[in-house]
Amino acid sequence: MDPFATPCIRCGKTRVLSRKWKGKSDGRGSMITYEEYVCVDSECQKVVDAKFEEMRNRRLGLEVKRNNIKIARTK
Q: Is 57 a domain residue?
A: yes
Residue 37 domain flag:
yes
Whether 25 is in a domain gets the answer: yes
pLDDT in tens, 7-61: 999 999 999 999 999 998 877 889 999 999 999 999 999 999 999 999 999 999 9
The tally of domains found in the chain comes to 1
Residue 72 has pLDDT above 70, yes or no: no
| Residue 8 near residue 39, CB atoms below 8 Å | yes
Query: Which pLDDT value is given to residue 15?
Result: 94
**Quick one: pLDDT at residue 38?**
95
Identify the pLDDT of residue 25. Answer: 81
pTM of the complete model: 0.70
Burial profile 11-41: b = 16 or more Cβ within 10 angstroms, e = fewer = eeeebeeeeeeeeeeeeeeeeeeeeebbbee
Query: By residue range, what is the domain housing residue 30?
Result: 16-68
Give residue 2's pLDDT.
65
Is 34 within the bounds of a domain?
yes
75 part of a folded domain: no
